Structure 1
Amino acid sequence: MTKIFLATFPFFAIILCGYGATRFKLLPLEAIPGLNVFVLYFALPCMLFRFGAGTPIEKLLNYSVFATYCTAALLIVVIAILTTRKGDTGWNDAAFGALVASFPNTGFMGMPLLVSIAGPKVAGPLIISLSIDMIITSSLCIALSRLSNGSGAGMYRTVKDALKGVIINPLPWAILLGGAASYMNLRVHGPIMHVIEMLADTGSPMGLFAIGTVLARSHMTAAGSPGKQHMASDTMLIVSYKLVLHPLLVFGIGSLAMKAGLPLDWLSLSVLVFVAALPSASNVSILAERFGARTERIAYIVLISTTLSFFTLSFVLALFFGDSI
């Protein structure tokens, strides 16, 4: 375990640097959106394109990987909604609770961490899981959050807006372009590839630093919110869904798929379990604010899951990737 902690410590240390820089006002809150824009529109797309272009197309189109991860994600959504939609928690808050329970921080944290440990061979399952989270899980939860409106037209507009959000998100396009390059065996050379590689190399440190800044901002906002007393009701329940139940479901479904003879190898299953064990994605709090859910509730879940994941994620890495470290 000592090697695991030594391998994961730099990643969490960079998150802590971003958190501290924001809390101690070395980085103004007004600078955080610009930092996120750089990561979202430049660093991560280049990283995803490079991994997609360098991964055999059959790895990016593995239906058993898709089915395993998608089934587990949908089950988490259903379980979270059934167990949290009660009292003063309506469809809106229940749906975003389900999203924060099922949407891991794969892009900013999971991909750079696991690739640094196990190499680019893990890129295929990582990209598939990220695509499911961005397109299927997030769109479904946003649609469910609108059930409280009681308006079919309102829900239609929300689903339309969610799909529009997917279309203007650069990450799916980077994945598609990388997959197309892999399928056609195209290679980018010269200065253009050098620019892509330089930006891709910034994805890991900048993404991790950005997580820390967003966590600090969310914590500062939640601490000053009159609704902070609502934290206790289901926060730890949802955190347990994210860090414990989600990876257990992926492992169980994947094990059954392997026993049934589906083309799911042990490495791919290990990657999916790792992804499911990641803490909640920090951008869920931004979506919650946009759609009127209790932002402070989501912020605390993201903060606590990220903090606890230093231990839970290290355990998963030791269990499934100990030989790679």
Structure 2
Amino acid sequence: MLNILLVTFPFFALVLAGFVAARRRMLPLEAIPGLNGFVLFFALPCMLYRFGSTTPIAQLLDATVIGVYLVCALVMVAFCIAITMNRRIRWNDASLGALVAAFPNSGFMGVPLIVALLGASAAGTVILTMLIDMVVTSSLCIALSRLDDAEGHGRQAMLDAGRKALRGVLGNPMPWAIVLGALASAYSFTLPKPVEQTLWLLADAASPVALFTIGAVLARAQMQSNHPMPLSDYLPVAVMKLLLHPLLVLAVGLGAIQMGLPLAPAALTVMVLVAALPSASNVSLLAERFGADNGRIARIILVTTAAAFLTFSAAVSLTT
């Protein structure tokens, strides 16, 4: 366990550093969007392209991994909405809460952390789970979040939500970086050396800047959400993310293996660790954009990120 903590500590320490920097105003809050933009549009796509282009294409097209992880994501969304909806929490808040329960921070945190723990061979499985969460889980939850409007505007509101979700997917550079990397892997394409070295430098910056940015985003969200909130509004969702999600992936994955499906134990281990990650910090941006209770979403992300230092390390200890 100590060896695992020695690997995970620097990652969470960088998150803490970003949190403290923003809280103490050493990093102006106005600078956070710039850091986000650098990570989202430059560093992280380069890192994903590098992993995609150096991963065997068969690993990026594993249908069993896709099926198992997708089933678990859909179950998590349905269960979280069913458990949390009440007179105050309607479709918008319940759906974005379900997204934060089912969408791990696999981009900003998962890829570098799991690769550091398990080696570069784990990258392909992490990338597959990212695609599912960015394309399917996010789009579904955004569409469901518009059901409150659909009660008054019917089908048109749902169509508008579908178009917004599709624009969000198409405008996200990370799926495109993964696709381009997969094509490069399939056709053994290599970039000219100066271009490759430039992209690799940006890729090397992705992990530290992304982790620092997570902390800064969490601090900003906490500073801007001052209204009181009962623990019951956000703590159960945090528990679902950190405990129920990885256990569900483990159970479904073991069931798939028992049924004879070609799921490698190493791939299942990676999926369980992805599910054990804290909630994706970008869900807070979606909640703000779609008018959900961003204070609630920010609290869930903050709790899962703080607690994951122990829960994620425990998951690594139990599965590897």
Normalising TM by the smaller chain, what interval?
over 0.9
Q: State the partner residue of 1:196.
A: 199
- Distance in 2 separating the partners of 1:216 and 1:257: 40
Number of residues of Structure 1 aligned to a counterpart in Structure 2: 317
State the shift of 1:263 in Å: 1.3
Task: Give 1:180's aligned amino acid.
Answer: L
Q: What 5-or-longer segments of structure 2 have no aligned partner?
A: none
- 1:244-255, aligned counterparts within 5 Å? 244-255=243-254
The residue matched to 2:107 in structure 1 has which SS? helix
Q: Which residue of 1 aligns with 2:74?
A: 74
How far apart are 1:126 and its partner, in Å? 0.4
Partner of 2:317: 318
1:102 maps to 102
Report what 1:19 is aligned to.
19
Query: How far does the alpha carbon of each residue in 1:18-45 deviate from its partner, in whole angstroms, 9 at most, with x for none?
Result: 0010000001010000000000001110
TM, length-normalised to structure 1: 0.96
Identical positions, percent:
51
**Separation (CA, whole Å) in 1 of partners of 2:194 and 2:316:** 36
Q: Distance in 2 between matches of 1:126 and 1:250?
A: 13
Runs of 4 or more, structure 1, over 2 Å off, are 228-231
State the alpha-carbon separation in 1 of the partners of residues 118 and 40 from structure 2. Answer: 24
1:182 paired with 2:185, answer: yes
Q: TM-score, normalised by structure 2?
A: 0.98
Uncovered stretches (5+) of structure 1, i.e. residues with no partner: none
Corresponding position of 1:148? 148
Q: After TM superposition, give the deviation of residue 229 of structure 1 in Å.
A: 2.3
* Aligned partner letter, 1:2: L
Query: Residues of 1 paired with 2:291 and 2:238: CA distance?
Result: 21
Match of 1:284 in 2: 283
Flag the 1:207–1:81 CA change in 2: closer, same or farther, 3 A. Answer: same
Instruction: Give CA-to-partner distance per residue, 1:102-150, whole Å, 9 cap, x none.
Output: 0100000011111112111001110100000000000000000000112
Q: Deviations over 1:183-206 (max 9, x none)?
A: 111112310000111000011101
Amino acid at match of 2:317: A
Distance across 1 between alignment mates of 2:173 and 2:109 = 17
Q: Please list the CA deviations of residues 187-239 of structure 1 after superposition, one character each: whole Å capped at 9, or x if unmatched.
A: 1231000011100001110110010010000110112xxxx323422311101
Is the Cα contact below 8 Å between 1:94 and 1:145 reproduced in 2? yes
- Paired with 1:65 and 1:124, the residues of 2 have a C-alpha distance of 10
- State how far apart, in whole Å, the 2-side matches of 1:238 and 1:315 are: 19
Q: Distance in 2 between matches of 1:302 and 1:45?
A: 23
Q: Which residue is equivalent to 1:220? A: 223
Shift of 1:306: 0.3
Q: How does 1:1-325 map to 2 (within 5 A)?
A: 1-149=1-149, 150=151, 151-223=154-226, 228-321=227-320
Q: Is the 8 A contact 1:104 1:275 kept in 2?
A: yes
Aligned counterparts of 2:268 and 2:163: Cα–Cα separation in 1: 33
What is the RMSD computed on CA atoms of the aligned residues?
A: 0.8
CA–CA separation in structure 1 for the residues paired with 2:260 and 2:57: 21
